[in-house]
Amino acid sequence: MHDDQRLGGASPSKRIRVTAWIVIGVLASFQAYANRYAVSPDGISYLDLSDAVTTGDLSRLVNLYWSPFYPFLIGVARLLISARPSAEIPIVHAVNFAMFIALFAAFEYLLISILELVCRTRRSILGGSSGLAGIYAIFGFMALTMLPQELTTPDLLSGTCMLGAFGALLRLKRRSEHDTRDAIILGLSLGFGALAKSFLVPWAAVCLAVLVWATKSRGLRSSLIAGAIWIVIVAPWTVVLSRAAGRFTFGDTGRLTYAWYVNSQDAPSLGGVPPGARTPRTDAILPGVGATGPAAGTDPMWLDPVRWNSMVKPHWDFRDQLGTLNALQIFYLQSLTPLLFLILLIATAPRGSRRLIWFDGWVVFIPAAAGIIAYALVLVTARYVMPFILAGTLVILALTPRPRRMLPLLATLGIVIPLGLEAMSAETAIGLTLVTSIAAGMTAAALVPDRYPALWTIGVLGATFASRILLPPSAPDIARVGAVLVAVVFGFAARSAVRDHRMVSFAQRTSVAMMILIFATLGLRWEIRLKQDLEAFVLARTPEWGNPSVKIADDLASRGIAPGTRIALIGPHAESYWARTARLNIVADVPRTRTSDFWKLPPQGRDALLNEFAAAGATVAVATVGPDSTSVRPDSSWTPVKYQGWIRRLK
pLDDT in tens, 195-239: 999 999 999 999 999 999 999 988 899 999 999 999 999 999 999
Confidence grade of residue 138 (pLDDT, cut at 50, 70, 90): very high
Separation of alpha carbons 320 and 265, rounded Å: 11
Orientation of helix 200-214 relative to helix 221-245, angle to 10°: 160
- The answer to the question of residue 343 being in a domain is yes
- The answer to the question of residue 40 being in a domain is yes
How many CA within 13 A on the CB side of residue 462?
10
- The answer to the question of residue 485 being in a domain is yes
The one-letter amino acid code at 172 reads L
DSSP 380-433: --HHHHHHHHHHHHHHHHHHSBPPS---HHHHHHHHHHHHHHHHT-GGGHHHHH
Please give the average per-residue pLDDT across 487-499, as a whole number: 91
Tell me the whole-structure pTM to 2 decimals. Answer: 0.92
Q: How far is CA 49 from CA 56, 227, 377, 408, in A?
A: 12, 29, 29, 59
Domain that holds residue 15: 10-247+318-389
Separation of alpha carbons 112 and 47, rounded Å: 36
Higher pLDDT: 4 or 441? It is: 441
Shared domain check, 382 and 281: no
Give which of 287, 274, 298, 308 is closest to 609, Cα–Cα.
287
Separation of alpha carbons 548 and 643, rounded Å: 9
CA 635 to chain centre: 44
Provide the pLDDT for residue 322. Answer: 86
Shared domain check, 419 and 380: no
Higher pLDDT: 628 or 189? It is: 189
Shared domain check, 219 and 89: yes
Shared domain check, 97 and 40: yes
Separation of alpha carbons 351 and 200, rounded Å: 37
Task: Determine how β-strand 290-291 pairs with β-strand 585-590.
Answer: antiparallel
Q: How far apart are the first and last CA of the chain?
A: 71
Shared domain check, 229 and 117: yes
Q: What is the pLDDT of residues 54-112, one digit of tens each?
A: 999 999 999 999 999 999 999 999 999 987 898 999 999 999 999 999 999 999 999 99
Q: What is the largest CA-CA distance in the chain?
A: 89
Q: Which residue among 510, 540, 570 closes a domain? A: 540
Provide the pLDDT for residue 284. Answer: 94
Lowest mean pLDDT segment, chosen from 236-240, 325-329, 507-511, 634-638: 325-329
Shared domain check, 43 and 142: yes
Lowest mean pLDDT segment, chosen from 32-46, 139-153, 398-412, 586-600: 398-412
- The answer to the question of residue 261 being in a domain is no
Please give the average per-residue pLDDT across 314-326, as a whole number: 86
How many CA within 13 A on the CB side of residue 404?
7
- The answer to the question of residue 377 being in a domain is yes
Separation of alpha carbons 350 and 341, rounded Å: 16
CA 448 to chain centre: 40
Confidence grade of residue 2 (pLDDT, cut at 50, 70, 90): very low
Shared domain check, 272 and 241: no
Shared domain check, 233 and 101: yes
Shared domain check, 440 and 586: no
Provide the pLDDT for residue 252. Answer: 94
Q: Structurally, how many domains does the chain consist of?
A: 3
- The answer to the question of residue 605 being in a domain is yes
Q: Which residue among 367, 389, 411 closes a domain? A: 389
- The answer to the question of residue 258 being in a domain is no
Shared domain check, 412 and 344: no
Provide the pLDDT for residue 10. Answer: 45
Shared domain check, 529 and 440: yes
Q: Which residue among 522, 540, 558 closes a domain? A: 540
Q: What is the pLDDT of residues 572-601, one digit of tens each?
A: 988 889 999 999 999 999 999 999 999 999
Shared domain check, 172 and 276: no
- The answer to the question of residue 1 being in a domain is no
